[in-house]
A and B are shown apart, each in its own frame.
Chain A
Amino acid sequence: MKKYILKRILTSLFTLLAILLVLFILMKLMPGSPFNDEKLNDDMRAALYAKYGLDQPVVVQFLKYVGGMLRGDLGVSYNISKNTPISQLIQTRLPISIQIGGMAVLLGAVVGLILGIIAALKRDTIWDTLATIISVIGVSVPSYVFALGLSYSFGFRLQWFPMLFTTTDITGSSVLPSISLSMFTMASIARFTRSEMLEVLDSDYMLLAESKGISGPALIFRHALRNALIPIITVLAPLIVDLMTGSLVVEKIFAIPGVGSLLVNAIQSNDYNVVISLSFIYSAMYIGIMLVVDILYGVIDPRIRLSKEGN
């Protein structure tokens, strides 16, 4: 198991380096430059290129960038917050996105599981139909529509929660964005849980367990849900990264100072360093979560653990 994990970590590191290279090349290929303002003339643009080292050959730029990254230096922002080190920009924003994303994941996963289990257990009843309707709405309606709706009803009309993110009431002002973000996760998890549970419930070993006299919660949670969980975790993993790294639009609507809104602004203003850094962090988190998921598989399903140890 240790050897397996070590191997996975090494592969991850190489993947990250490759991602960095690809990101760097993509940014260079992108049309426009960070310094295309109507007020800038050629001389001033040249001065800016020189200042940030963008006039050097791409290879030199890349090596310098990687060198900086290894020392923890992500470079500075060119546009959205001029000359600010990106690490400074991210360090206050990432926790906010992770917190709101985390709340959304938790909410989505828990409610989704419950909905899915109910739908599966009460198959073909009104409960099943209701759960399905909720899932279909959750999957098909974009999160920003929920965001606007929730903000209007619970923020503007009822005034139960703040309409905009505020640092004086972080928990309260995270509620509406978290709910809006969780809808898609909730719906997907509910659908997967339902179908996986149905498959498991129909299996022979469930029949056996039932005939052995196991019943109630033990039957459902120990025998049915545990077996249904593996595919669910596979689906959940990328969703977690998605939510943690901030939903671009929802952050914009609730004025959340997270990384999602930062990324959107950076892309729109060709702020190379910010885009590369955020995409890189996104990739790193994705790879990290996948690693955790791989390890989790082993914990949940002994068969996987054993077969890997055998290798």
Chain B
Amino acid sequence: MKNARSVLAFAMAAAMALTATGCGSTATADSGAAESTATGEASAESTEATEASSSALNVMLETPVQSLDPQVATDGTSFEVIADYTDGLMQMDAKGAAVPACAESYEVSEDGKTYTFHIREDANWSNGDPVTANDFVFGWQRAVDPATASEYAYMLSDIGQVVNAAEIIAGEKDVSELGVKAVDDKTLEVQLNVPVSYFLSLMYFPTYYPVNQAFYESCGDTFATSPETVLSNGAFTLTSYEPAATAFTLVKNDSYYDADKVQLAGLNYQVIQDSQQALMSYQTGALDITLVNGEQVDQVKDDPAFDSRGAGYLWYISPNMGSVPELANVNLRLAMTFALDREAICNDVLKDGSAATFTAVPPQFATGPDGSDFSADQTKFADSCAYDPEKAASYYETAKQELGVDSFEFDMIVDSDDAPQKVAQVVKEQLETTLPGLTINLVVEPKKQRVEDMQNGNFELGLTRWGPDYADPMTYLGMWTTGNSNNYGLWSNADYDAVIDRCSTGDLCTDPEGRWSAMYDAEKIVMDEAVIFPLYTQCNAEMINPNVTGIEFHPVALNRVYKNAVKAG
């Protein structure tokens, strides 16, 4: 017994000693931070000698890169990394406008259907080859080649309206007939079916990036799977990478034509899927920029390093009007959209800075001919979308009378991810409280299954999202045309289709102001008929090292651009 007691005492003493060391270590956190940063940079330094090794940026990613092949990649993470080491004809400036990159100048024909790009003399690939017009021809042909099966091929056909792109994708014409040709080594000529007002802004989208044909062919099947099988013509070069890597590095590309402006020694990417680990890594100084999830926001929101950036995604509820008779009733749909308290969803549930949205086209990604944000005015459609329980109740009464029923029950399908589930739970509560007799059953599904169900029309209500592909409201408005595969609700309106037609391929293509106001008319139809119930525009809550400046954030195409970033100290 005496023995037992001494053992117990020893164990407790040991436990206390351990706890004491744990608390005492706070003071040493800083020195440790310096150490871990130093090791991160040492690795970059060892791969290539750079004079400014103190300023490599340590960046957290949520998911691994899916592909470094510019014509195959589809996700924001891959796009960001590809753009780190590749320049297109144009690149994004800090505000998201297209500015010349590989192209030093361009001309647009009077009819707006022919673009001629002049490629810089000093644009070179990292193997020494010059960047030529043929690199773009080859890259674009790969994008529409059915053998590539590029998921973003439609960026050239439906959206870019490049001549013959649609026919080539459909297998009706040969890739050589694509409306793009190398007039000479440094001159690229592009033919479009119709004038496309936002065409230049597509040039920074990775699907339009150049690929060096000779290099591509020398890589065979392994193209873009390692530092040896990619070429850089951009601000950085890839120095370590494996497919689906959890950590990889880039260093400054000294042979880049704009190398004088690049101040970072490199980029050290770290994939961290556990949000707690990510935040702790940031706090030790191992990361300069990291994402913060909604639950952590309360913990860090007073930190000056905390920031929230628009991620572009509009989250919305799509009612299935095609196969659910009750939801085909516009008054019921209006009742539901008026019953949703979007501010509460953003402030009490998401907390990451996501913005309540009352328009079908979310704010902050599309600027018009006069430079203003298409959806800056969130009260523009207040008559058909707002939080107003009284209006909701009155529309609800009308709907009940019209349909001759007192109660409704709908299934709502939701992604199994954390945030959508929480949002759906609140949506259910709000709808059921404000509209007595309405029952919402949440059906949680893996995302891929949820998307499939919605695309097949196999749902009643669905919580879904859409991210803009290009900086024009049409990236949203194009969805609700009759027969569009993203028109989940199977809504159809001839007037709407006509407006969209005029704006995308019709007479308004050459009239930017007229097109802009016609797109508001189209959006009004969507809102008045409550084709979708917009909820919020997603934001990413982030921690950014206060010593770091100049990272450019964009909700479209390239979410983060580091070319002009500076890390002091």
Partners in one complex: yes
Contact: A38 with B465, CB < 8 Å?
Answer: yes
Chain B residue at smallest Cβ distance from A267: B446
Alpha-carbon distance between A222 and B269 when the two chains are bound, in angstroms: 53
A residues less than 8 Å from B486 (CB atoms): 38, 41
Q: Are B243 and A89 touching (Cβ within 8 A)?
A: yes
Docked pose: A76 CA to B263 CA in angstroms: 38
B329 close to chain A: CB less than 8 A? no
Q: Is A37 an interface residue (CB 8 A)?
A: yes
- Given A126-B4, A127-B7: A155 touches B244 (CB 8 Å cut-off): no
Closest to B153 in A: A44
Flag B259-296 by CB within 8 Å of A: 1 or 0 each. Answer: 00000000000111110110011011010000000000
B146 shortest CB reach to chain A, Å: 6
Q: Given A50-B149, A125-B4, A164 and B28 touching (CB < 8 A)?
A: no
A84 to B229, CA, bound (A): 12
Do B7 and A130 touch (CB < 8 A)?
yes
Asked if B64 lies at the interface with its beta carbon under 8 angstroms from chain A, I say yes
CB <8 Å contact, B247 and A166 = yes
- Flag whether A202 is at the interface (Cβ < 8 A): no
Within 8 A of A (CB), among B469-494: 469, 485-486
Answer yes or no: B216 CB below 8 A from chain A CBs: no
Given A32-B446, A44-B153, A82-B73, answer yes or no on A255-B244 (Cβ-Cβ < 8 Å).
no
- Cα–Cα, bound, A218→B483 (Å): 82
Complex contact A158–B25 (CB within 8 A): yes
Q: Is the CB of A32 within 8 A of B36?
A: no
> How many angstroms between the C-alpha atoms of A243 and B153 in the bound complex?
42
| Residues from 102 to 116 in B contacting A, C-beta threshold 8 Å | none
Residues of A within 8 A of B276 (CB): 148
A36 contacts which of B72, B154, B243, B451 (Cβ < 8 Å)?
Answer: B451
- Cβ-defined contact, B270 with A164, below 8 A: yes
Docked CA distance A31–B35 (Å): 48
A155 touches B73 (CB 8 A): no
Query: Which residues in B have their C-beta under 8 angstroms from that of A79?
Result: 66
CB distance from B211 to the nearest CB of A (A): 14
Q: Are A255 and B284 in contact (CB under 8 A)?
A: no
A83 touches B25 (CB 8 A): no
B305-349 residues at the A interface, CB under 8 angstroms: none
A102–B154 Cα distance when bound, in Å, is 48
A164 pairs with B286, CB closer than 8 A = yes
* A side interface size, CB within 8 A: 62
B401 CB–A CB distance under 8 Å: no
Asked if B448 lies at the interface with its beta carbon under 8 angstroms from chain A, I say yes
What is the distance, in angstroms, from A272's C-beta to the closest C-beta of chain B?
12
Is B253 on the interface with A (CB-CB < 8 A)?
no
Task: List chain A residues, Cβ under 8 A from B402.
Answer: none
Q: Mark A249-275, 1 if CB is under 8 A from B, else 0.
A: 000111111000110010011100000
Q: Smallest CB–CB gap between B504 and chain A, Å?
A: 16
Q: Is the CB of A47 within 8 A of B243?
A: no
Closest to B242 in A: A92
> Do residues B151 and A255 form an inter-chain contact, with CB atoms below 8 A?
no
Interface membership of B404, Cβ < 8 A: no
Q: Which of B446-478 contact A (CB under 8 A)?
A: 446-449, 451-452, 455, 464-466, 469
Q: Are A255 and B22 touching (Cβ within 8 A)?
A: no
Closest to A252 in B: B273
Whether, in the assembled complex, B69 has its beta carbon less than 8 Å from a beta carbon of chain A, the answer is yes
Binding site for A on B (CB under 8 A): 3-4, 7-8, 11, 18, 21-23, 25-26, 28-29, 32, 35-36, 39, 42-43, 64-67, 69, 72-74, 146-147, 149, 151-154, 169-170, 221-222, 225, 242-247, 270-274, 276-277, 280-281, 283-284, 286, 446-449, 451-452, 455, 464-466, 469, 485-486
A-B contact pairs, 18 of them (CB 8 A): A33-B452, A38-B451, A41-B154, A41-B486, A44-B151, A44-B154, A47-B169, A48-B151, A83-B67, A126-B3, A148-B276, A155-B280, A164-B272, A252-B274, A255-B246, A255-B247, A255-B273, A261-B246
- Other 14 A-B pairs with CB < 8 A, given A89-B244, A261-B246: A41-B486, A47-B169, A80-B244, A84-B225, A84-B244, A85-B221, A125-B3, A126-B8, A148-B276, A157-B22, A157-B25, A157-B26, A159-B32, A159-B35
- A residues sitting closer than 8 Å to B (CB atoms) are 31-44, 47-48, 50-51, 77, 79-85, 88-89, 92, 125-127, 130, 148, 151-153, 155-159, 162-169, 252-257, 261-262, 265, 268-270
For the complex of A and B, 8 pairs with smallest distance between CB atoms: A41-B485, A126-B4, A159-B32, A81-B243, A82-B67, A36-B448, A51-B149, A84-B243
